[in-house]
Structure 1
Amino acid sequence: MRRVRPGAATRGGAGEERALTSVAAGERYRAAEADGDEGALHAGAEDLPRLWHVTLSVSGADADLKELRRALEQLAHDHPFLLTSRYAADHAEIRYWEEARDLHDAAAVALRLWGEHRQTAGLPAWEIVGLEVIDRQTYHQRIAEGCGPAPAAPVGVHPF
């Protein structure tokens, strides 16, 4: 089962509306656990949603910094899963956690994020120039080894 995120409508083919979706939070796991079905807990483990850390990088022509900050704050409001956004006049980086069945689903949602919220948030017509999607274990391993990005603190919208 998929859920529609608040404020996440998008354009589909031939003018039809499609919704940006995310995998529901472990409903199958909770149902199997409630039924006491230990076999079901392990048999479909690959279908259970997992957390993925997403870093989306965008860039383009210079934008007004005040307007860009306002747009990124609106994106954070429309997409409440965002951890942090960093920005400069010609590029931005957005980091957040996505819950999805696999990397393909998490990446697909991430690749639609900027375009689907461009109109509603007033984001610049920039292109996606980078995408990193890693699982939770890899993210925490990188942090522990001092190789990953610093944890997203403070959370919010900040200049580079």
Structure 2
Amino acid sequence: MTVSRPTPPIAVVSALIALVACMLLTAFAWPAVHTAPNHLPLAVVAPAPALAQLQSRLDAARPGAFELRVLADEAEARQAILSREVYGALLLTSGTPKVLTASAASPAAAQLLAQLPTLLSPTTPSAVEDIMPATAADPRQAGLAGAALPLVFSGMFSAVMLTRL
């Protein structure tokens, strides 16, 4: 004698599929929409009066976005970037502000830092130097990010298959 399992109604199955799809969409879209810098380490080389003005402008433009680390000179700022203590540096020692970035560490942080002088003073020209660029083969470093979705789906598929054994 075989026991037949009752099949769930199509409406229930459809609702569950829609619910799972919404959960997956939320899980992948939410971080992308709500990502913002939070205490991003930034080296600053500037005289004391300029430093106070910079801090107030940054707090007004992007509160809590940057954690400023005051350094003595450009060489120390470069070393801090290369040793990954900071993501970039803002040099206010000459008439033209200069931004040092490391796109290999974080393309998103490098892009944000490159826009920093324009955010603070739109009319002042500035220079941006990428002292640690990403590789030419993957300048946006999308290789690992592109693999995330297939890895998640293969893990979910494996879990479903293992629970069916």
Note whether the superposition's TM-score is higher than 0.5: no
Structure with the larger helix share: 2
Q: Which has the higher contact order (CA 8 A, sep 6+)?
A: 1
Q: What's the TM-score, normalizing by structure 2? A: 0.33
Q: What's the TM-score, normalizing by structure 1? A: 0.34
